[in-house]
């Protein structure tokens, strides 16, 4: 089975992060949740480790990196058209 890790920011600050998170939960897609704490001195360095854009959300699918909320949702729709 494919491995998915969805990196998101603080749920109270990053509503864009919640969009793919909610979709994946609702559709019962198995994934790990990676968390990047926002608004800290380490935020930029931590984002650089997981995101080519320095933003969240970011989906890592077996090493394939997809960023930006709508791109993540479209990518998942292509992988799982039945859902």
What does pTM read for this prediction? 0.90
Domain that includes residue 72, residue range:
4-79
| Beta-carbon-side half-sphere exposure of residue 74 (alpha carbons within 13 Å) | 6
How many Cβ atoms are within 10 Å of 78's Cβ, its own excluded? Answer: 8
Q: How far apart are CA 40 and CA 35, in angstroms?
A: 13
- For 27-64, the pLDDT digits (tens) are 999 999 999 999 899 999 999 999 999 999 999 999 99
Q: Which residues pair with 8 in a beta bridge?
A: 35
Q: How many domains does the chain have?
A: 1
- For 7-32, the pLDDT digits (tens) are 999 888 888 899 999 999 999 999 99
**Cis peptide preceding 10, ω within 30 of 0:** no
Q: Which residues pair with 67 in a beta bridge?
A: 58
CATH number of the CATH domain containing 23: 3.40.30.10
pLDDT the model gives residue 2 = 61
């Amino acid at each position: 089975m494919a491995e998915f890790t969805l990196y998101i920011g603080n749920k109270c600050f990053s509503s864009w992060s919640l969009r793919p998170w909610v979709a994946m939960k609702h559709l019962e897609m198995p994934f790990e949740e990676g968390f990047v704490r926002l608004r800290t001195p380490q935020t930029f360095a931590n984002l650089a480790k997981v995101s080519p854009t320095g933003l969240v959300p970011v989906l890592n699918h077996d090493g394939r990196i997809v960023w930006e909320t709508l791109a993540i949702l479209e990518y998942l729709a292509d992988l799982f058209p039945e859902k």
